[in-house]
Amino acid sequence: MTAVVIVGAQWGDEGKGKVVDIFTEQADMVVRFGGGPNAGHTLVVGDDKVVVRLIPSGILHPRTRCVLGQGMVIDPASLFVEIDELVRRGRLPVELDGGRLAVSDRAHAILPYHVTIDTLREQGRGALGTTKRGVGPCYEDKVGRRGLPLGALRDMDKTRAIVGAALEAWTPVLQALGGMAPSVDDVMRTLEPLAARLVPLLCDTSQLVEAAVRAKKKVLFEGAQGTLLDIDHGTYPFVTSSSASAGGACVGTGVGPTRIDKVFGLVKAYSTRVGGGPFPTELDDATGERLRQKGAEFGSVTGRPRRTGWLDLPALEYAVRVNGLDALALTKLDVLTGLGDLKVCVAYRAADGSARPFPIDDAKGTMPVYETLPGWTEPLDRARTLADLPKAAREYVAFIERRVGCPIELVSVGSRRDETILLVDPFAG
């Protein structure tokens, strides 16, 4: 195996950062393929906690090359805040070059007006609960063919023309939202010093990544968000604006589907969601609150409390299908300790009792059907093999595996690197 894709199988925050960090021990390259600073991936090393947004979660491993692919939208200001923080903490060299961190010259720039539009829209009636990082408006510009590919920053006259045209399109929108459009000069003044720093990191990452895969290097494709937030396959319109599922790894990097060896889906032992949208197994009660407190379910980007609920197996089966998952990693199993009996949604039914698939777009009129599994009281963080888990926890893992028909190859029992039961080498085979 050389090319391994890792995607969230739920609504994001499944623990992609932790798992990518662990797998990177063996990887030559880690590539982000979509999304932008709406992502928040947490890495815990000893007592140190690092949250990365744009930078791939492999960054803590000095011999691994990190790549920001062209499917991403990148706020240059936010990228340098992140880089400077990592340098300050001794996690990145002061003299950073494209050898350690390469950025696609075809990824699109998030500009200050994208953030303003996202923020103003969130104050209105159509609010979706976005992260207000300008991600949606930036992808709108990309698809509207008036976006700013980062490569344009090599030529500031070209950049000025693109920004001017985009601002012309956005000005009436900004005014209707009660905001004001910045002048082209304002935007250029912000952009110029950032461009000077960014341009040396830019390259054709598609060639870089494809060459690494062809040379049989170990390459991890790190998903952001999750399948149910995918623009095509998620709970539309309560989704993000990119391809967060496995297909996005090809579109967002320039590596063809025949080159991908394995697709890994990450799933929490329960469900969470940040922002609006359907969430049929949501718990608005004391159990939901216990999950939130015990699982520290507060957004790593916005600090918002995450909505919590029981594990949803029809949703997971859906994620297995649309991603073609080869294997699962089950995370945060330790959070279920002491919760009492555990419910798992195994099906959906309409009012007349007939079976329904996972309600992707509208949960109205569809009821989750639960099975109850015994819980356990023992802490799990010291478990390093399945045999170390209490019987009920082992049965919970086996139940999921059996129901969705996809092997669980990793079980995570804490946020630290060693709090992991690794059952199969991700690059084996």
Kindly list the residues in this chain that would bind ligand GDP in the complex (CB under 6 A).
8, 12-18, 40-42, 44, 296, 300, 331-332, 334-335, 412-415
Buried b (16+ CB within 10 A) or exposed e, 378-403: eebeebeeeeebbebbbebbebbeeb
d(CA 26, CA 18) in angstroms, rounded, equals 14
Q: Applying CB under 6 A, which part among 71-79, 219-227, 334-342, 388-396 lies near ligand IMO?
A: 219-227
**227 belongs to the binding site for ligand IMO (CB under 6 A):** no
Nearest approach in angstroms of CB 216 to Mg ion is 31
**Burial (Cβ within 10 Å: 0-12, 13-18, ≥19) of residue 47:** exposed
> Quick one: 303 or 353, whose CB is closer to Mg ion?
303
**149 belongs to the binding site for ligand IMO (CB under 6 A):** no
CA proximity to 253, closest of 205, 203, 202:
205
Nearest approach in angstroms of CB 167 to ligand IMO is 21
Integer angstrom CA distances of residue 404 from 118, 345, 380 = 37, 12, 24
Nearest approach in angstroms of CB 209 to ligand IMO is 20
d(CA 249, CA 182) in angstroms, rounded, equals 35
Q: Which of 39, 86, 102, 198 binds ligand IMO (CB under 6 A)?
A: 39
The token pair at 210 is 């494809």
Do residues 211 and 232 touch, judged by C-beta distance below 8 A?
A: no
**224 belongs to the binding site for ligand IMO (CB under 6 A):** yes
Nearest approach in angstroms of CB 171 to ligand IMO is 22
Q: Which of 8, 15, 35, 40 binds Mg ion (CB under 5 A)?
A: 40
> Quick one: 206 or 272, whose CB is closer to ligand IMO?
272
Which amino acid would we find at residue 258?
A: T
**8 belongs to the binding site for ligand IMO (CB under 6 A):** yes
Q: Which does 288 bind (CB under 5 to 8 A by kind): ligand IMO, Mg ion, ligand GDP, none?
A: none
DSSP structure class, residue 99? T
**13 belongs to the binding site for Mg ion (CB under 5 A):** yes
The token pair at 242 is 């990119």
Q: Which does 262 bind (CB under 5 to 8 A by kind): ligand IMO, ligand GDP, Mg ion, none?
A: none
d(CA 420, CA 330) in angstroms, rounded, equals 10
> Quick one: 185 or 418, whose CB is closer to ligand GDP?
418
d(CA 33, CA 246) in angstroms, rounded, equals 10
Residue window 318-347: x/- pattern of binding to ligand IMO, with contact defined by CB under 6 A = ------------------------------
> Quick one: 32 or 106, whose CB is closer to ligand IMO?
32
Ramachandran assignment for 183, one of left (phi > 0), alpha (psi -120 to 50 degrees), beta (any other): beta
State how beta strands 342-350 and 355-356 pair: antiparallel
Q: Which does 32 bind (CB under 5 to 8 A by kind): ligand GDP, Mg ion, ligand IMO, none?
A: none
Q: Applying CB under 6 A, which part among 4-12, 104-112, 308-316, 365-373 lies near ligand IMO?
A: 4-12
The token pair at 302 is 């916005």
Do residues 19 and 410 touch, judged by C-beta distance below 8 A?
A: yes
The shares of helix, strand and coil residues in the chain, as percent rounded to the nearest 5, are 35, 20, 45
Nearest approach in angstroms of CB 42 to ligand GDP is 3
Number of residues that bind Mg ion (CB under 5 A): 3
**246 belongs to the binding site for ligand IMO (CB under 6 A):** no
Nearest approach in angstroms of CB 160 to ligand GDP is 36
> Quick one: 141 or 409, whose CB is closer to ligand GDP?
409
Rg (CA), the chain: 21
Reported as type and span, the H/E element at residue 252 is none
Q: Which of 159, 206, 225, 412 binds ligand IMO (CB under 6 A)?
A: 225
Q: Before 237, cis peptide (omega within 30)? A: yes
Nearest approach in angstroms of CB 197 to Mg ion is 26
Subset of residues 273 to 312 that bind Mg ion, contact rule: CB under 5 A: 300
Reduced to 3 states, what is the DSSP secondary structure of residue 212?
helix
Residues lying near Mg ion in the complex (CB under 5 A)? 13, 40, 300
Residues lying near ligand IMO in the complex (CB under 6 A)? 8, 11-13, 38-41, 128-131, 133, 135-136, 224-226, 229, 240-241, 274-275
